[in-house]
């Protein structure tokens, strides 16, 4: 029930004008900025337009207790050239997707199990957040910082749709603390103390 609704939202979000019926991605060819080259029509089958990978929960045994299962063109060749992409989000109890952005596209999130506290921050630093229940949908505009947190005592599941085949992803915590930017510069630009910065770098794999 929910996946067909999500697909409809995906099509609404897509702004790419169709110049041919479809362009199933030829995964044997390299991917370029515009996606994959088209598979020859004679080799296209119905299986190119069907993807079953979102039916299983992802592995949430990690630091953030979250898993994202993508349904992008490399996994779902029928999406190639349509200007959209999909994914499944699983959040264990205590799971979180930290503050992050998608520079290349807007996001629609549909909760199908549990509760998820989700929100985004506008360029004016206004915060919009709410605890979403099963059946609730929320939009996250392109490029804005946003987050998702398990909002209940059971695992949560959501399906997301992007208005781009390559929405991109930058997680703020990793951008600040999972690299070799010197601790002194992080302290100066974030107003955190050096001990806290070094602690976060150690947790997230950063150096210096």
Residue numbers belonging to the annotated binding site for oxalate: 102, 107
Proportion of the chain in helix, strand, coil states, percent, rounded to 5: 25, 30, 45
Which one, of 149, 140, 90, lies nearest residue 118 by Cα?
A: 149
Q: List the binding residues.
A: 100, 102, 107, 146
**Among 39, 47, 46, 51, which residue's Cα sits nearest to residue 76?**
51
End-to-end CA distance of the chain: 50
Q: Let me know how many helices (H) and strands (E) the chain has, helices first.
A: 4, 10
Question: Could you tell me if 13 and 86 are in contact, meaning their C-beta atoms sit under 8 angstroms apart?
Answer: no
Q: Which residue numbers belong to the known binding site for Mn(2+)?
A: 100, 102, 107, 146
Lookup result for tokens 């997707």: 97
Here the tokens at position 51 are 């993807």
**How far apart are the C-alpha atoms of 29 and 99, rounded to whole Å?**
34
- The H-or-E segment that residue 161 falls in is strand 156-162
């Amino acid at each position: 029930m929910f996946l067909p609704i999500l697909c409809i939202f995906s099509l609404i979000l897509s702004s790419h004008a169709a110049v041919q019926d479809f362009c199933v991605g030829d995964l044997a060819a390299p991917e370029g900025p515009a996606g994959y080259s088209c598979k020859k029509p004679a080799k296209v089958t119905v299986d190119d337009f069907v993807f079953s990978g979102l039916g299983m929960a992802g592995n949430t045994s990690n630091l953030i207790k979250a898993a994202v299962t993508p349904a992008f063109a490399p996994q779902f060749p029928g999406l190639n050239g349509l200007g959209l992409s999909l994914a499944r989000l699983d959040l264990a109890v205590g799971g979180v997707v930290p503050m992050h952005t998608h520079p290349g596209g807007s996001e629609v999130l549909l909760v199908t199990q549990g509760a998820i506290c989700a929100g985004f921050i506008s360029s004016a630093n206004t915060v919009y957040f709410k605890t979403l229940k099963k059946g609730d949908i929320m939009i996250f505009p392109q490029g804005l910082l946003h987050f998702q947190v398990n909002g209940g005592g059971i695992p949560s599941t959501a399906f997301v749709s992007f208005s781009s085949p390559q929405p991109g992803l930058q997680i703020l915590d990793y951008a600040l603390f999972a690299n070799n930017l010197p601790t002194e510069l992080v302290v100066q630009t974030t107003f955190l103390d050096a001990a806290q910065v070094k602690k976060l770098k150690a947790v997230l794999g950063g150096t210096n």
